[in-house]
Structure 1
Amino acid sequence: MADDSISSKALHASIREMGQDFGRGDPEKKDLVVLGTNITKLRPVENDDGSLHPSRLLLTEEKAYDSLAFAFSEPKKWLILTTIFIVQISMNFNAAIYASAVPGMQEHFGIGPFKARLGQFIFLVMYAFGCELWAPWSEELGRWKVLQASLGLVNLWQIPCALAQYVGTGYWMIFGFRALGGLSSAGGSVTLGMVADMWEPADQQYAVAFVVFSSVAGSVVAPICGGFITEYLDWTWVFWISLIFGGVAQALHFAVPETRTSV
């Protein structure tokens, strides 16, 4: 074997000597064969035209496994996931709580129930596009930056919705900013990406279930809170409370470390 080559068995042994748990929980990675790679050197990144980048080097998982989010301790992983649980609830809370404002908007703007519910309709439609919009950016820029930007924009769009009763444009102002709110929601496309960052495929089942449960929980918590808002507060508090909840979720997420290893 050439000096710059190394067998799969030798590579695994070298990684274990460095204290790395290579391929833990992922049977496919234990059978990974890497030939012609010197683990003491990093390979230059290849450009789209086949040329080598002059300054960027490629660091692969097998050469730095203990630096990846996979190597986070279990308590740290679940602390991060608990914060994501709250973030995910806030997103789905924002989507579901709108229905509690419909009676108040009907009375205030003098509109029918169909028109009043268009704000919820457009939010959910744009939410579907928002998830697809934000996911690729999280691969390039990182999960933390994308979720912070998403939460910040969603929180910002709550303010004009809450102030719409004082503006002459009326209900269509709410409709427009609800559309922007849906488009700004990163949703589960990024939060599930964080699960993939921290757990190997064979170990992801409990983390995925936990994140999915947060989506369901947000849709359940919103109607409960909405009942109290409808009974005791003005309809605009639907948006103010969504803003408060979103602000708390964003503040908690601020302390979450980046999990995307390519950033």
Structure 2
Amino acid sequence: MFIIFSLACAISSNINMLLAFRFLNGMGVAAISLNSSVVGDMFSQEERVGVLALINIPALTGLAVAPIISGYISQALSWRWVFWLSAIVGGICEAGFVFIFREPYKVRILKKAAQR
């Protein structure tokens, strides 16, 4: 959702479209609340503390750094490039997640093993 609505924000033609797509873009980011659950499924109890710290660093530092970076990007290029770059970086991260993360759901893992 984040990538799709970032692209929609970049190509919006009026303020009403931008506001609606930006709202939906924020709803796509709400999945960050699932980070603890994903880490809990994928890592042992001893490993969770370090992994949770690492996975939450971008979310916490982004709140401070993103407005500064976005301000420079919008002055140098245009406000649309803020959304284009968000979609590009989000797409790269999503591709990384697809190829790096393993399936944490035990039922699905057992079904795949039984099918093999």
Q: What TM-score do you get using the length of structure 1 for normalisation?
A: 0.37
Distance (whole Å) between structure 2 residues aligned to residue 203 and residue 247 of structure 1: 27
Residue 155 of structure 1 is matched in structure 2 by 3
Distance (whole Å) between structure 1 residues aligned to residue 43 and residue 96 of structure 2: 22
Does the residue aligned with 2:78 lie in a helix, a strand or coil?
coil
Please tell me whether residue 196 in structure 1 is matched to residue 44 in structure 2.
no
Q: Match for 1:204: what amino acid? A: R
Which of residues 95, 100, 103 is equivalent to 1:258? 103
The 1:251–1:261 alpha-carbon spacing in structure 2 relative to 1, beyond 3 Å, is same
Residue 98 of structure 1 is matched in structure 2 by none
Please give the per-residue CA displacement for 1:65-103, whole angstroms capped at 9, x wherever unaligned: xxxxxxxxxxxxxxxxxxxxxxxxxxxxxxxxxxxxxxx
Q: Match for 1:221: what amino acid? A: V
Residue 240 of structure 1 is matched in structure 2 by 84
Is contact 2:74-2:80 (8 Å) kept?
no
Please give the per-residue CA displacement for 1:99-157, whole angstroms capped at 9, x wherever unaligned: xxxxxxxxxxxxxxxxxxxxxxxxxxxxxxxxxxxxxxxxxxxxxxxxxxxxxx21111
Structure that is richer in helix per residue: 2
Residue 12 of structure 2 is matched in structure 1 by 164
Q: Which runs of 5+ in 2 are unaligned?
A: 109-116
Is contact 2:9-2:18 (8 Å) kept?
yes
Q: Match for 1:261: what amino acid? A: K
- Of all paired residues, the percent bearing the same amino acid is 30
Distance (whole Å) between structure 2 residues aligned to residue 249 and residue 233 of structure 1: 23
Q: Match for 1:163: what amino acid? A: I
The 1:230–1:177 alpha-carbon spacing in structure 2 relative to 1, beyond 3 Å, is closer
Please tell me whether residue 183 in structure 1 is matched to residue 30 in structure 2.
no
Residue 53 of structure 2 is matched in structure 1 by 209
Is contact 1:194-1:260 (8 Å) kept?
no
Structure that is richer in strand per residue: 1
Q: Match for 1:195: what amino acid? A: V
Q: Tell me the number of residue pairs that the alignment of Structure 1 and Structure 2 aligns.
A: 107
CA shift for structure 1 position 160: 2.2
The 1:199–1:257 alpha-carbon spacing in structure 2 relative to 1, beyond 3 Å, is closer
Residue 117 of structure 1 is matched in structure 2 by none
> Could you list the runs of 4 or more consecutive aligned residues of structure 1 that deviate by over 6 angstroms after TM superposition?
none
Does the residue aligned with 2:79 lie in a helix, a strand or coil?
coil
Please give the per-residue CA displacement for 1:49-76, whole angstroms capped at 9, x wherever unaligned: xxxxxxxxxxxxxxxxxxxxxxxxxxxx
> Highest relative contact order (Cα 8 Å, sep 6+), 1 or 2?
2
Q: Which runs of 5+ in 1 are unaligned?
A: 1-152
Does the residue aligned with 1:184 lie in a helix, a strand or coil?
helix
The 1:182–1:220 alpha-carbon spacing in structure 2 relative to 1, beyond 3 Å, is same
CA shift for structure 1 position 234: 1.2
